[in-house]
Chains A and B, each alone.
Chain A
Amino acid sequence: MDEKNREILKVLESDSRIGHADLGTMLNLSQNEIKKRISAMEKAGVIRKYTAIIDWKKTGEDAVTAVVEVKVSPESEFGYDRIADRIARFPEVKSLRLVTGSYDLQLLVTGKTMQEVSEFVSGQIASLESIRGTVTHIVMKTYKEFGCELQRSEGVERLPYSF
């Protein structure tokens, strides 16, 4: 990949709010050039979405997240793709991956209560044909999300002044 595009992506990954003008100044490109490159990467599906990392615990809102391990019998024609596609369509499923190891699919599922999550897993996921079993792990505490440490305030302890 083009080096400048890689730099643009690195910056956006750390701060998607940054304006095209600032980004251009930082990377020695014109504002127009930045705009062109970003829109090309959006069209190509390289940049999928601009979002925020939120610590919902801090909002006081009730929310339960679970990591769900799913064992699947792959279909002869489609492998894991068709079943994964079905699971991915549920809005409760925040992320979905095919992984190596003792199970096949790893889901991150959210709901308002533990009951809601478990009903979703048993009712909508475990009951699907070709699912051989599920194990649900309720998340107790999130320490790090998308590179962001949630339990630690960012920054370094420094003197306000030094030479």
Chain B
Amino acid sequence: MSYREVKGSSASPIVSERGALNPQKSYVSERAAMIPPSGIRKFFDLLLTMNDVISLGVGEPDFNTPWKVSVAGIDSIERGATAYTSNKGLEDLRDLVSLYLISRYGTSYDPQNEIIITGGVSEGLDLAVRTVVDPGDEVLVADPCYVSYSPCVMLAGGVPVPLPCPAEDEFRVTPDALMERITKKTKLVMLNYPNNPTGGVMKREDLEAISDIIVDHDLLLLSDEIYSELTYEGSHVSPASLDSLWERTITLNGFSKAYSMTGWRVGYFCAPPEITSAALKIHQYVMLCAPTMSQYAAIEALKHGEDAKNRMVAEFKMRRNLFVAGLNRIGLPCHLPKGAFYAFPSIESTGLSDVEFAERLLVEKQVAVAPGSAFGPSGIGHIRCAYAVSRDDLGEAVKRIGEFIESL
């Protein structure tokens, strides 16, 4: 019997008249109430009622966690290693993360006082923002971006300010766009490269071009690099690998995308000691520690996950080439995304808004994509297509999208 049934049955009323809430007032905090409801909730609900949908709306890999990694998680449960770990996370894991970051990206973080293992980058993001943002501080959020950025800033009392990264700039942050939006209240710049939803990347020269501005205006940088391993042209450049930015940067990364570990909820927060120790105070009270079995699995991923990761990345790159060529062929102009697993074509030539396009495509052709405006104002007129589906499904999706455009 569900809670609702119990509540509604006259035999055993849970809520008495005497205890009822006052319908004239809201008991939800102003802080929670100011978060706007998800704009595409209805769209999501519609999708759940439909059959035979090819969903390009899924923001996670379509690969299972590498089996060795899962076994390490299972082993930890079997041997009873299921208690809390230290707030910072297992020492072995922090050591491996430190080693990985220096050898892979040239970013140096001390495992003792500059790394916290988090419940995924989602927690890291909240930690980072709450650690450095005071009420009234303005936070420049590279736009379009992952849907939680602005709400996280708002929950911390900050003011999110979109920093436009349009298609003509290949979705990068440019010095001009940055300069234009800096005010006396600006405290933090939030970047996510390789980018969700655009697949854009920032090369070394792109980061160098904005580093002086960040330093001159005494700003901090939050760099969410969860898609760093999914970089297809050249190699990922971590902002903290630039000497001028290290002290000002909070680096977030994790295991979800590189090792198909989305549901394990494990990532890491890296920053200079002062910021890290402040973040640790928040982390210890709201999270205590990242899931222990997930931490053991993450150790295995860093030790022996390389082959599985490389296979997955190679597959994503091939799918990207196939899918983007298909989109351009059917008349949806699309930049070649250099990272992540998203294509972000413009649909302006169809005359439809991105929300109309997504809704009609779903209803008429059973293909789900995310309307670009869900990711911020610069996403308007685009759709996000995740190519984390099989090649057969991608081919079929391109065919159906083509038919849909023809029918307009």
User: Which residues of A line the B interface, CB within 8 A?
Assistant: 7, 10-11, 15, 18, 22, 25-28, 155-156, 158-163
Contacts and interface: CB of A to CB of B under 8 A. Distances in A.
Contacts of B319: 26
Contacts of A162: 57-60
Interface in B284-329: 314, 318-319, 321-322, 325
Given A15-B391, A156-B63, A156-B64, A161 B58 contact: yes
Q: 8 closest A-B pairs (Cβ-Cβ)?
A: A26-B318, A161-B57, A162-B59, A160-B55, A25-B325, A163-B147, A163-B59, A26-B321
Interface size class of B (residues with CB under 8 A): 20 to 34
B62 interface: yes
Contacts of B100: none
B146 interface: yes
Interface of B: 44, 47-48, 53, 55, 57-64, 146-148, 196, 260, 314, 318-319, 321-322, 325, 368, 370, 374, 390-391, 395
| Residue in A25, A27, A159, A163 whose Cβ sees the most chain B Cβ within 10 Å | A163
Contact of A163 (B63, B146, B390): B146
A92 B333 CA distance: 54
B61 to A, nearest CB: 8
12 contacts: A15-B391, A22-B322, A22-B395, A25-B325, A26-B318, A155-B390, A156-B64, A159-B58, A160-B57, A160-B58, A161-B47, A162-B59
A11 B391 CA distance: 11
Contacts of B391: 15, 18, 22
Nearest to B324: A25
Contacts of A18: 391
B175 to A, nearest CB: 29
A107 to B, nearest CB: 29
Contacts of B390: 155
